[in-house]
Structure 1
Amino acid sequence: MLTRGEHRAARGGGVAAILLIGLALLAPIWVLVAQGTGAGLGSGQGAYLMRITRFTLLQAGLSTLLSLGLAIPLTRALARRPAFAGRRWLISLFAVPLGLPPLVAALGLLEVWGRNGLANAGLSVLGLETPFSIYGLSGILLAHVFFNMPLATRLILPGLERLPPEYWKTAANLGMGGMSLFRLVEWPAMRRSAGAAAGLIFMLCATSFTLVLVLGGGPAATTLEVAIYQALRFDFDPGRAVLLSAIQIGLTLAVMLALRLISLPAEAGDTRGGSPSRPDAGRGWRALPDITLIALSGAFVAAPLVAVVTSGLAADLGRLLSSAQFWRATATSLGIGLAAAILSVSLAGLMVRARHSAGARPGSPALGLLSGMTGAASSLTLLVPPVVLGAGWFLMLGGGSGQLIAPLAVIVLINALMSLPFVIRVIEPAHQSAMERNGRLALSLGITGIDRIRQIDIPAMLAPVSTGFVFAVALSLGDLGAVALFGSDRILTLPWLLYQKLGSYRTADAAGLALLLGATTMTLMVVADRFGAGTFTRARKDLP
């Protein structure tokens, strides 16, 4: 419960947050629209846009099919084997790609699947002369499956494990097995979460930037976001960038609207182990297919991670750590991350408090509008990808050449907006619980205003706020999309420095940087998850 003054302050803060978010989103979009007013389809431009859009949808669709096509049999195998040694570690391993910077993962995949990687070395031993190429469509699909197959597995598995033991007893009495068991028992249990996972994976792949930038391999394998980056960074063709941005926003909006029709399961990621009385849980040699599939899937996810650690330790870490360039990039990344986290947590706090205040009078149309706008504002940040936002600000700042403060402020703003939906989903449940638990007590003690925030609300919300803050820092540290357009010798972050090392074929230095960056971000993610008792993992999967 809040006093009248606290209600006014909460609602005013919510309006201010909405206005800031609206300005941050609408200003670059307005610039893109203004720049694109005279941008027509030149000779061959229509065919180019169609080809880029078609490839974006193609790679997203194929990535989704492959990720689910592998996740469903793997999920069934894990549900049939609830007690094998290392199962808990495997489920934890599948959570690692959720927090791993894409650039670090790309380097690990190159170490395993690149021309001189382990996979091609094995193929040459078998006498196959044509090596596997990780560049182009094949590499993009491989990278997307690495990230999304574990995600789909963790989304689908709880549905199977929640099936009552009576289902399996009935299936055993009826002699069900094979496809009958899958069609009549398992698929109905996983259909809802599998559909939600498919939509989420499709959106993630359709808006993928870093993986396509590193592994795309040329114009034939370019998505909309990478094409926007290339149009501004290399060609400085604002008209083409505007058209590509419009298509990207339209595509993202269509996918998000489709996802709204599919609700994600309430519980995702936490597994208890399946029923031991399944009729299809064979023993001995009949367990071999499940064991093989589980082992291969674990190796597929673990190999790039091990490769990053191994190659990183083999690099000259001492030289890297003594490099002034490394520490300048680290200082810039930390500065951006801390500023973005402060802004993101502040906006989230204002919006959560405003929504709580607006909900105190459910019959008021104005407050209902405020509540709806605070909910929509955070989701709108997912509608405009970082590269599109950056494109608008890039044009607004005239390319940002020779500037320092303004591009840094834009990068901070974009990173804050990108982490805002996750931070809100971490903070809001805890805020609601704190208000219900402490609201009447605070009023009865006469503790209001700033005193209440300082003495009651902040201590009660310290853990979730810390979780959201650390999570926002980690997201910003590993992000390349926001800095891609503005990165330069003056604005040097760790992901940008790592990308430069990869581009100049200094793979040893890139491996060392990837290890340091990956270890830092994963440590922050673990800390965030421990602070919030798993809320980060659930928030990551609950979007959009």
Structure 2
Amino acid sequence: MFASRENRMTITAAAFCLGGILLFVGLAAAALLAQSGEGGADGLFDDYIWRVTRFTLLQASLSTVLSILFSLPVSRALARQASFPGRIWMLRLMALPLGLPALVAALGLIEVWGRQGLLNKGLAALGLQQPISIYGLFGILVAHVFFNMPLASRLMLAGLERIPPEYWRSSANLGMGSLAIFRFVEWPAIRGLLPGIAGLVFMLCATSFTLVLTLGGGPAASTIEVAIYQALRFDFDPPRAIALSSLQVVLTGTLLVALKYLAPPPEEGATSGRATRRFDGLSSASRLVDGAWLVLALLFVGLPFAAIAVSGMQADLARLVGEPAVRRALASSIAIALPSAIISVAMAALMIRTQRLLLARRRRGMPDRLFAGAIGASTSFILLAPPVVLGAGWFLLLRPFGDVARFAPFVVIAINALMALPFVHRVLAPAMATHAARTGRLAASLGIGGFHRLRWIDWPALRKPLLMAFSFALALSLGDLGAVALFGSQDLATLPWLLYSRMGSYRTADAAGLALLLGLICLVLTMLGTAGERAEGRRA
């Protein structure tokens, strides 16, 4: 009886969350359409839009494939080599790209891959006269892999770490080689995660704005997101922006639905809960191969951060930290990031649990299946709602109520929480599914529920993924520029907005210093997200 009442409350709360998401996005779109009246989208399917659509799909597909292919050996190397020196810092480095503003990361990539970057200087020293160009399709692919390969690696690593330790002892007793272990042990754990990871990466690349604008090199390398921005910022044609957003949702949504049915869900196995100890990867050849992949990943991700650090150290950091504007921006960033991260994690956990409850019913009706499907879709499709569309819509909605600046923090918090929801969902969903498969029936048979289950059963097992999801959401909100770009002012200035302002006024030294400060804050957040990794690595 108690469990039934608890389940009903959970489903009701999830229904409110889903309704709130649909209402928040729908009202913003309706406000934009009402502002301009009818017309304006007649030229939607012109030659420019078709060209932009083709390029969007091309660069997103290539970026997704490259990110997944790179992350497979990197995540496997991190899983097999669980105790090498510096592993914990490698994991923290892999989480840093999520927290930096795309503009800052683009500057770091230019320092490495640009015409005067480290790579071209090395090629020139070898006598090669043709430099590598960071602009155009190549630069967009490099930037997207830089951002998404670490994310995919972390998500795959989490799946590999959930493999029951009994599997590794059985594989060692059977004398299975590296290829056999990958085929029969690791691949079943990875293949169920690939559609979700690939869908998330594809959405991030398809909706990329700042990187395409910075590294695209011109109109030939524009995406639908850039066309949406141009329709609102320069033409103020809301119907065209809404139509383009709908086109983006349809194109990417079709691919996500197809990906969903390409692979079965991850296989779950019973476990005694002992510490995991892998017996493969101990040979010299395995360590050499894993080490090569880890060094390559370290250089690919670490060199742009090193370039940012070198540029930032040349700034007057003491003066920057002492500036009242910087302190206010830091306080505003934290005040926005904390509630948005809490809301995002709470919503994701609630909706994941509700979806599992609906699908676990013995007599599932059509409403149950539709509700569960809507919950699963909302955590993915929200990423396709451009922040500039949401922000502009709510700006128009709130304008009749007086000064919009009074409501700006709440709108930015809501947008950041929704934008972080897909990341949080990808971290929590597999972990919660594994935990439910291993403890759900036993807890139900013992009548354990509510706070007691949360304290004694759920929290010990889910603490690590919850902290990781929370740190991801915090870093994303701290590094966001899209939502605050419309509302940024002297009263609401975050660190990314202040950094962007300093760059716009050609105060590059201050911008580099602020980028370094933001990177250090994100490093602290990744340390929070990897809490307990060191101890687990030692036990393994």
Per the TM superposition, whether the score is higher than 0.5 is: yes
Deviates more, 1:459-468 or 1:294-303: 459-468
Work out the CA distance in 2 between the residues paired with 1:488 and 1:509.
18
Query: SS of 2:482's equivalent?
Result: coil
The alignment partner of 1:417 has SS state of helix
Q: Is the 8 A contact 1:115 1:131 kept in 2?
A: yes
- Structure 2 CA distance for aligned equivalents of residues 265 and 16 of structure 1: 27
Once the two structures are overlaid, the 10-residue window that deviates more, 358-367 or 333-342, is: 358-367
Q: For 1:354 and 1:79, how far apart are their aligned partners in 2? A: 33
Aligned-partner SS, 2:496 = helix
* Bigger mean CA deviation after superposition, 326-335 or 150-159: 150-159
3-state SS of paired residue (1:530): coil
* Alpha-carbon separation, structure 2, partners of 1:264 and 1:101: 34
Matches within 5 A, 1:84-163: 88=87, 92=91, 95-97=94-96, 99-103=98-102, 104-128=104-128, 131-151=131-151
Deviation at 1:241, TM superposition (A): 1.9
* Aligned residue in 2 for 1:205: 205
Paired residues of 1:381 and 1:418 also in contact (CA < 8 A):
yes
What amino acid is aligned across from residue 146 of structure 1 in structure 2? F
1:497-512 alignment runs, 5 A limit: 497-512=498-513
Provide the residue aligned with 1:252 in structure 2.
252
State the 1:339 CA deviation: 2.8
The 1-side partners of 2:432 and 2:535 are apart by 13
How far apart are 1:109 and its partner, in Å? 1.4
1:482 match: secondary structure? helix
For residues 57 and 459 of structure 2, the distance between their equivalents in structure 1, rounded to whole angstroms, comes to: 42
Aligned partners of 1:50, 1:403: CA distance in 2, in Å?
36
Give a deviation string over 1:245-266, Cα, whole Å, max 9, x none: 1222122212321221234884
Aligned residue in 1 for 2:343: 343
1:57 counterpart residue number? 57
CA spacing shift, 1:254–1:496, aligned 2, 3 Å: farther
Structure 1 position 23, deviation (Å) = 0.7
Partner residue in 2 for 1:417: 418
Which residue pairs with 1:312 in the alignment? 312
Residue 27 to residue 274, structure 1, CA distance change in 2 (3 Å): farther
Distance change >3 Å, CA 63–CA 530, structure 1 → 2: same
> In the alignment, is the contact (CA less than 8 A) between 2:412 and 2:483 conserved in 1?
yes
Aligned residues of 1:36 and 1:242 also touching (Cα < 8 A): no
Q: Deviations over 1:402-448 (max 9, x none)?
A: 621333322211111122344455388399589877778788xxxx9
- The alpha carbon displacement at 1:123 in A equals 3.5
Matched, 1:426 2:428: yes
Letter in 1 for 2:21: I
Contact 1:387/1:482 (CA < 8 Å) preserved in 2? yes
What residue is the counterpart of 1:226 in the other structure? Answer: 226
- Contact kept, 8 Å, 1:168 with 1:277, in 2: the verdict is no
Q: Which amino acid in structure 2 is aligned with residue 53 of structure 1?
A: T
- Kindly state the Cα deviation for residue 151 of structure 1 after the two structures are TM-superposed: 4.8
* SS of residue paired to 1:40: coil
Report the residue type matching 1:519 in the other structure. Answer: L
- Mapping of residues 421-460 of structure 1, within 5 Å: 421-423=422-424, 426=428, 429=432, 453=451, 457=454
Once residues 27 and 389 of structure 1 are traced to their aligned partners in structure 2, the CA distance between those partners, rounded to angstroms, is 9
Q: Could you tell me whether the CA contact under 8 Å between 2:188 and 2:267 is conserved in 1? A: no
Say if 1:67 and 1:149, in contact at 8 Å, map to a contact too. yes
Question: What is aligned with 1:381?
Answer: 382
Q: Distance in 1 between matches of 2:421 and 2:203?
A: 18
- 1:222 & 1:101 partners in 2: Cα distance? 22
> Is residue 209–residue 226 contact of structure 2 (8 Å, CA) maintained in 1?
yes
Map residues 217-366 of structure 1 onto 2, 5 A cutoff.
217-263=217-263, 266=266, 272=278, 274-275=280-281, 281=285, 295-348=295-348, 351=351, 362-363=362-363, 365=365
Question: CA 1:113 to 1:402, structure 2 compared with 1: closer, same or farther past 3 Å?
Answer: farther
The answer (yes or no) to whether the contact 1:61–1:202 under 8 Å persists in 2 is yes
User: 1:540 is matched with which residue?
Assistant: none
Residue matched to 1:2: 2
SS at 1:492 equivalent:
coil
Quick one: distance in 2 between partners of 1:87 and 1:355? 38
Partners of 1:400 and 1:15 in 2: CA distance:
29
Q: How many Å separate the matches in 1 of 2:108 and 2:311? A: 9
Q: Matched residues in 2 for 1:343 and 1:13: separation?
A: 13
Q: 1:282, 1:364 → 2: CA distance?
A: 48
In the superposition, the TM-score normalised over structure 2's length comes to 0.75
Distance 1:530 1:282, change over 3 A: closer
Q: Any idea what the Cα deviations from partners look like across 1:330-354, whole Å, max 9, x if unmatched?
A: 2221221123234334534654665
The CA deviation string for residues 468-487 of structure 1, in whole angstroms up to 9 with x for no partner, is: 54543332111223223333
C-alpha distance in 2 between matches for 1:257 and 1:233: 32
Unaligned runs of 5+ in 1: 173-181, 536-544
1:8 & 1:512 partners in 2: Cα distance? 51
Report SS of the residue matched to 1:217: coil
Number of matched pairs: 509
Identity of aligned residues (%): 45
Structure 2: which 5+ runs fail to align? 269-275
Give 1:542's aligned residue: none
Letter of the structure 1 residue corresponding to residue 432 of structure 2: P
Q: Which amino acid aligns with 1:390?
A: G
- Specify the SS of the correspondent of 1:498: helix
Return the offset for 1:327. Answer: 1.9
